[in-house]
Structure 1
Amino acid sequence: MIEINDLCKNYGDKKALQHLTLQIKQGEIFGFLGHNGAGKSTTIKSLVSIIEPTSGSITVDGMELKEHRQEIKEKIAYVPDTPDIFLQLSAMEYWDLLTAAYNLSDQDVKQRRLQLVELFGMGEHVDGTIASFSHGMRQKAILIGALLSDPDIWILDEPMQGLDPQAAHDLKQLMKAHAKKGKTVIFSTHNLDTAQQLCDDLAILKKGQLIYNGTVNDLLAQHDNESLEDIYLQMAGRQDGGHLVDDIEGDNHE
């Protein structure tokens, strides 16, 4: 179980996270929803020790993150919100680097690497530099690298971004299978359909504050005959721009 308790992160006067408290259970897919700047990536980067929170605590399987950082890192697969890293390396060199970082032998990961490469259609590209890849191909290379060691906890920041429909479908199936094994998947998304398909539990953030934590079904049950999109937009911000949309459309036709 992952426990986030009273987590705050300030950048000068800006409050990126405000007293975030929630639990993420083993065996579930947990989603973070929110507009840009809501605090999703700040939370995720705090979980993977990229960002040091201003205050509060994170506990993973009973271990305080501050005191057991390396041990907890070894439990986590992390996919960042941009795949533009290690651009000078080939895909295979990048995967070899991560194999060494996880203290794994090539034999340990060879079969899983082959399976992931085949699944994501990367077979012809393993020797190409990441810099030469499209955004979607870079995303696939980063995903394969993160999942090589198959750790207990997957933390994925906008993982579907840039993926083609087949790759996005395959990743969703991997996420479901991982959770079914009693492991944990945490991801952020802007896609409400994806959240509704995958999430056992979700958190909606607005300006660094938690405004909902629970299941999609419970949220829908609280709002009769409304779509998840309508509910989310009511909670997280203006629904459709109202007269602003009409004004823009009117201006276009003048």
Structure 2
Amino acid sequence: MLSIKNFTKCYKGDKPAVENVNIEVKEGDIFGFIGHNGAGKTTTIKAVVGILNFDCGEILIDGMSIKDEPIECKKLIAYIPDNPELYDSLTGIQYLNFYADIYKVPKEDREKLITLYGDKFEITKSLGDLISSYSHGMKQKLAIISALIHNPKLLILDEPFVGLDPKAAHTLKEIMKEICEGGGAIFFSTHVLEVAEKLCNKVAIIKSGKIVANGKVNEVIGDNSLEEIFMELIKDE
């Protein structure tokens, strides 16, 4: 589903921000991407979704290169950044229809999905209001619904639980599981290690731009907790 091979990204000065990253996310995986601030998580994710160009390596989505076939790749994925920037001058329903138009979602299908996810996140009654009136949590819910509206095969999230109340966070976890049970996959970054340990079947830990642990959760943590392993691996930072 997602294959990151020898990925390297350099910024000014030619010093790699991310170096030689290799990650495989297969159908059915909920893959947690973990690291301290500045470790390279967001840089990697932005390259995966086609926002950032990169220097070396390749990123394949369902066997297609994000560099060579960006449009076809983006049809299969949905991306939710850590701080979604929405169009405040639109209403919630206008924003969702805008996204549905981009992905050419049929009217009947979009209406069903908007109702389904709007009710699940308890935001249906507010979809007629301007986004400028939304709280941060409501904007996060709207961004999540917009990402789900075309039934993506690969959902990519950067710190998705930030700003969500406990009920909405639980709802998102259940949706993530449903996507994977249906043959999709999830790749997400998080600082909430307890969530990653319970929710993910695979994790990778990145430190100073390099992967220091990668694999099935039970193999990475052994008899320890994910928090203990993480703190041990980054103790010199």
Q: Distance in 1 between matches of 2:225 and 2:116?
A: 38
Q: Which residue of 2 aligns with 1:143?
A: 144
Percent identity for Structure 1 against Structure 2: 40
Q: Which amino acid aligns with 1:7?
A: F
Asked if the contact 2:9/2:17 (under 8 Å) is kept, the reply is yes
Q: Which residue of 1 aligns with 2:50?
A: 49
Structural mapping, 1:15-30, within 5 Å: 15-30=16-31
Q: Which residue of 1 aligns with 2:163?
A: 162
Q: Does 1:231 pair with 2:232? A: no
Asked if the contact 2:117/2:145 (under 8 Å) is kept, the reply is yes
RMSD: 1.4
Q: Distance in 2 between matches of 1:52 and 1:91?
A: 31
The Cα shift of 1:87 comes to: 2.1
The Cα shift of 1:238 comes to: 5.1
The Cα shift of 1:11 comes to: 1.1
Q: Distance in 1 between matches of 2:23 and 2:147?
A: 25
Q: Which amino acid aligns with 2:185?
A: T
Q: Distance in 2 between matches of 1:183 and 1:31?
A: 15
Structural mapping, 1:170-249, within 5 Å: 170-221=171-222, 224=223, 226-237=224-235
Q: Which amino acid aligns with 1:141?
A: L
What is the number of residues matched between the two proteins? 236
Q: Distance in 2 between matches of 1:70 and 1:204?
A: 29
The Cα shift of 1:131 comes to: 2.0
The Cα shift of 1:130 comes to: 1.8
Structural mapping, 1:5-24, within 5 Å: 5-13=5-13, 14-24=15-25
Q: Which secondary structure state, in structure 2, belongs to the residue aligned with residue 162 of structure 1?
A: coil
Q: Distance in 1 between matches of 2:209 and 2:149?
A: 32
Q: Which residue of 2 aligns with 1:34?
A: 35
The Cα shift of 1:159 comes to: 0.8
Given the superposition, is the C-alpha separation of residues 91 and 237 from structure 1 closer, same or farther in structure 2, using an over 3 Å criterion? Answer: farther
Q: Distance in 2 between matches of 1:237 and 1:156?
A: 26
Q: Which residue of 1 aligns with 2:126?
A: 125
Q: Which amino acid aligns with 2:7?
A: L
Q: Distance in 2 between matches of 1:49 and 1:211?
A: 24
Write out per-residue CA displacement over residues 49-94 of structure 1, whole angstroms, 9 at most, x where no aligned residue.
Answer: 0111122111122222212110110000111110232222211111
Q: Which amino acid aligns with 1:11?
A: Y
Q: Distance in 2 between matches of 1:203 and 1:98?
A: 31
Write out per-residue CA displacement over residues 9-60 of structure 1, whole angstroms, 9 at most, x where no aligned residue.
Answer: 1111242211111211111111100001111111111111011112211112
Return the index of the structure with the highest Cα Rg.
Answer: 1
Asked if the contact 1:113/1:148 (under 8 Å) is kept, the reply is yes
TM-score, length-scaled by structure 1: 0.89
Asked if the contact 1:205/1:236 (under 8 Å) is kept, the reply is no
Relative to structure 2, which stretch is displaced further, 207-216 or 228-237?
228-237
Asked if the contact 2:49/2:66 (under 8 Å) is kept, the reply is no
Question: Which segments of 5 or more consecutive residues in structure 2 lack a partner in the other structure?
Answer: none
Q: Which amino acid aligns with 2:84?
A: P
Q: Distance in 2 between matches of 1:236 and 1:95?
A: 40
Q: Distance in 2 between matches of 1:227 and 1:71?
A: 39
Q: Which residue of 2 aligns with 1:246?
A: none
Q: Distance in 2 between matches of 1:220 and 1:48?
A: 29
Q: Which secondary structure state, in structure 1, belongs to the residue aligned with residue 129 of structure 2?
A: coil
Write out per-residue CA displacement over residues 219-246 of structure 1, whole angstroms, 9 at most, x where no aligned residue.
Answer: 221xx4x43212211112359xxxxxxx
Q: Does 1:97 pair with 2:95? A: no
Q: Which residue of 2 aligns with 1:242?
A: none
Asked if the contact 1:136/1:163 (under 8 Å) is kept, the reply is yes
